[in-house]
Amino acid sequence: MTSYTELGLVNTKELFKKAVSGGYAIPAYNFNNLEQIQAIIQACVETKSPVVLQVSAGARKYANQNILKNMARGAVEYARELGYDIPIALHLDHGNSFELCKDCIESGFSSVMIDGSHLPYDENVELTRKVCEFAHSQKDYVTVEGELGVLAGVEDDVSAEHSDYTKPEEVMDFVSKTKVDSLAISIGTSHGRTKFKPEQCTRDANGVLIPPPLRFDILEEIEKKIPGFPIVLHGASSVPMEYVRMIEQFGGHLKDSVGIPEEQLRRAAKSAVCKINIDSDGRLAMTALIRKVLAEDPEEFDPRKLIGPARDELKKLYMHKNLNVLGSAGQA
């Protein structure tokens, strides 16, 4: 059994409190390999941003929980070595059972998400309450994220055909019964790189898909019901067209890609939204650069030369997010 404090990690309590009052959002970046964690830490140290390192159940299967835990420990030491001790949380993304959350908590995660959003309301309350009870009773308080409302799209093991917006009238009851520390809501974000079907969008003069706007009216109503309570947005990648085009230029096919415009995320970050999850954008950046290198240098076979440029691009992308979208730069 390992407590996250032994790894040099923090839970999300203070991070979120400051983010809500400061009008910015903490980046939550997913990782499952070396280059991703290097890019995240380099970007967050250079921009002096706190960060949530996220591990999905799929990443845990891919990389092994022990390796991931020690990568998080390494990330803390790496940040210090780079000269700035940023607060780092290690968070389970979309935990789907009490056992998975317990397992992660006992192996050094500082925060977990229990996603009961697909369950009937009362079962979601019961499952979330049970995880909170366990997480909060640890020697070092582990924070818990719950979810109300369902996001459309596909992300590792999580998928839903249609989105189901969060009902503002349920949030107060959910938060007080479960004692969750933060709440993921559904206001129109979506998992994956095709966040909307073309028929849900309009097109600009160049035929690029313009998505429907986020439901800020629902967000405002939720904020009125639970003032100052930390809100989380999942599925908040912007799906930059420069990467989509680069991938297609070098042989990929990513038809009908569409994300959430960055201006809308910037607006959300200024509200009680204090954690914004970004995964697909990082996948696109890495794939774009890997495809480019493979296409332009067919003789290259050193994996470092193939993945290194992808890592550097990922760092650039995350610095941009911290500085210009989330507003978390300078807040560590």
Asked if 195 interacts with Zn ion (CB under 5 A), we say no
Stretch of 12-20, 174-182, 232-240, 249-257 lying at the interface with Zn ion (CB under 5 A): 232-240
| Residue 278 Cβ vs Zn ion, minimum distance, rounded to whole Å | 10
* Cβ distance to Zn ion smaller for residue 234 or 275: 234
Q: How far apart are alpha carbons 263 and 268 in whole angstroms? A: 9
* Cβ distance to Zn ion smaller for residue 73 or 91: 91
The sign one gets for the Cα dihedral 13, 14, 15, 20 is positive
The pair of three-digit structure tokens given for residue 235, joined into one six-digit string: 């599925």
Asked if 275 interacts with Zn ion (CB under 5 A), we say no
Which residue of 73, 193, 195, 234 would you call a contact of Zn ion, by CB under 5 A?
234
| Residue 309 Cβ vs Zn ion, minimum distance, rounded to whole Å | 28
CB 111 within 8 A of CB 91: yes
* Of the candidates 318, 332, 315, 330, the residue with the CA atom closest to the CA atom of residue 86: 332
Which of 93, 115, 156, 181 is flagged as catalytic? 93
Distances (CA, A) of 155 to 86, 193, 230, 296, 300: 28, 10, 23, 30, 32
Asked if 60 interacts with Zn ion (CB under 5 A), we say no
**Does 93 qualify as catalytic in the annotation?**
yes
* Cβ distance to Zn ion smaller for residue 69 or 275: 275
Residue facing Zn ion at closest CB distance: 234
Asked if 193 interacts with Zn ion (CB under 5 A), we say no
Give the DSSP H or E segment for 146: strand 143-148
* Of the candidates 191, 178, 103, 110, the residue with the CA atom closest to the CA atom of residue 148: 178
Stretch of 4-12, 67-75, 207-215, 229-237 lying at the interface with Zn ion (CB under 5 A): 229-237
Stretch of 83-91, 96-104, 227-235, 244-252 lying at the interface with Zn ion (CB under 5 A): 227-235
CB 234 within 8 A of CB 25: no
Residues near Zn ion, by CB under 5 A: 234
Catalytic residues: 93
